[in-house]
Amino acid sequence: NAGVTQTPKFRVLKTGQSMTLLCAQDMNHEYMYWYRQDPGMGLRLIHYSVGEGTTAKGEVPDGYNVSRLKKQNFLLGLESAAPSQTSVYFCASSNYPTDTQYFGPGTRLTVL
């Protein structure tokens, strides 16, 4: 039981490049979330999903897209990376009735 895993762990992009971050969970959780962590800001919600095929915007969605084609996977895409998207990205999952979210190890992204 791996819990929540994220791929890749590190990535460096140039401005304007695109990439996709993959989150996978093996706990059969219904709900999945993408956050970004910036120094002194805590974690802020980018997008979330309440089930396969559904997504919704969080607090800071601009510049990101997401897809949830399979229940166990939640993808975060950057179509045209900007230096402001340099951050650490965390994925999390949870399941009713508990509201406890379980976090992945994070992806450190640098945009030059």
DSSP type of residue 71? T
Q: What is the largest CA-CA distance in the chain?
A: 42
Enumerate residues 6-35 that contact another protein by CB under 8 A. Answer: 30-31, 33
Nearer to another protein, 18 or 54 (CB): 54
50 binds another protein (CB under 8 A): yes
DSSP 8-64: -SEEEE-TT--EEEEEEESS--SEEEEEEEETTTEEEEEEEEEETTEEEE-SS-TT-
What are the two backbone dihedrals, phi and then psi, of residue 84, each rounded to the nearest 5 degrees?
A: -65, -15
Nearer to another protein, 85 or 90 (CB): 90
Nearer to another protein, 48 or 64 (CB): 48
Q: Which of 48, 64, 74, 89 binds another protein (CB under 8 A)?
A: 48
Site residues, another protein (CB under 8 A)? 30-31, 33, 40-45, 48, 50, 58, 90, 94-97, 99-106
